[in-house]
Structure formats: C-alpha cells, structure tokens
Structure 1
Amino acid sequence: NVVPDDHTRFYFVGIDKARFRKPVEPGDQLVLTAQLERALKGIWRFSTIALVGDSEVAHADMMVAPEAGK
C-alpha cells in the first residue's frame, strides 16, 4: 500500500463518465474537488467535480497510479 506524501508521484491512467455541463470563461474561478472512491490493485479511482460558483460545470471518474516502488 502507498501512503502518499508531498513527494509522491502519481500517473494519470484513465477517465470514465466525463461530462462537460457548461462552458468555463476566462476570469471564472474553477474549483476542483476529488473524493477517493476506491483503491484496488495499485489503481486509485476518484470521483471529481468542477464548480464555478455553485454551478457544476463538469464531472468525471479519474484513475491514477502511484509511481512504482514509491
């Protein structure tokens, strides 16, 4: 099991269920949140949401893997 720290490297390995709801304009403050859904066989799956103000502008499930041997 990997316990991440400030020096842990993760590699993006996939994305599922990506939906873009509204355009984001220059000057908008984009807030991204991610919640760990599961960690299985070295792949971590996160549910992510992008907000501008109180409006969801995008969401997706993203998978990452920690650098081997770290």
Structure 2
Amino acid sequence: MAVKNVTINEPFFNGHFPGNPVMPGVLIIEAMAQAAGMLAHLAAETEGKKGELYYLVKVDNARFSKIVSPGDQLILEVVQKRIVRGMGQYRCEAFVEGKRVSSCEILCAGRKE
C-alpha cells in the first residue's frame, strides 16, 4: 500500500482544469506504476537481488471510475500476480475514501543499476 495526498498546490492543477481541478488520469497511473516498481524492488531485495531497479513496460486495462480532486487522499494497493524472467505483473487499484477511483494491470522489468 502507498499513499498520495493530493494538494491544490500540485502544478498540474493550473491547467487541468481551470476552476475545476481534477488529477490527470495519467498521473494516477504513474502513481500506481511507481508503487508497483517499489514493491518489485523490495521483493527483489528480500531475495538477495540488491541494486535492482524496475521500469514500467506496459499498462493494460486502465479504468477510471471517479474524479480525484485536491484534498483527496489516494490510497494505492498493488498485488503481485507473477514474475517471469525478471518481469513482474501487478494488479493495481487506487481508492479515495474506500471507493475505487482507478485500476489497471502493470508490467515492470527489472534491471541492475
């Protein structure tokens, strides 16, 4: 689980959208991808693979069901589905106040620093 506090001083709110600030969906996906990459990194470290970084390879089945606005707390939940040849597949969901606002599947690839 990861947490992102969404504040009005985020630079993307200046243009998205004036008078009606909405967190861009691509940034919600980015937050889920970073959480998946961190989970992959920590899992690799527990297996003795120190110094491995994970990079976004693919996003599938992205869905957005609710708007994320300033003042919301985005709760990110990531579950590892499988790892094959250094690539991990993750099921990601984002919640605000217990309600799902977005979901997707993410593929990350590991690479030594």
Scaled by the length of structure 1, the TM-score of the pair is 0.85
Aligned length: 68
> Secondary structure in 1 aligned to 2:44?
coil
Asked which structure has the greater CA Rg, the reply is 2
Quote how far apart the aligned CAs of 1:55 are. 0.4
- 1:1-70 to 2 correspondence within 5 Å? 4-5=44-45, 7-67=51-111, 69=112
> Percent of aligned positions with the same letter in both sequences?
29
Q: Flag as ranges the 4+ runs of structure 1 deviating above 3 A.
A: none
Q: Which runs of 5+ in 2 are unaligned?
A: 1-40
Quote how far apart the aligned CAs of 1:35 are. 0.2
- Match of 2:44, as an amino acid? P
Instruction: Determine the C-alpha separation between the residues in 2 that align with 1:57 and 1:7.
Output: 33
Bigger RCO of structures 1 and 2 (CA < 8 A, at least 6 apart): 1
- Match of 1:26, as an amino acid? P
Scaled by the length of structure 2, the TM-score of the pair is 0.55
Tell me how large the CA RMSD over aligned residues is.
2.0
Quote how far apart the aligned CAs of 1:8 are. 3.0
- Match of 1:14, as an amino acid? K
Q: Which runs of 5+ in 1 are unaligned?
A: none
More helix by percentage = 2
Which string of whole-angstrom CA distances, capped at 9 and with x for unpartnered residues, describes residues 12-55 of structure 1? 00000000111100110000010000111221000000000110
* Farther-moved stretch of structure 1 (33-42 vs 47-56): 33-42
More strand by percentage = 1
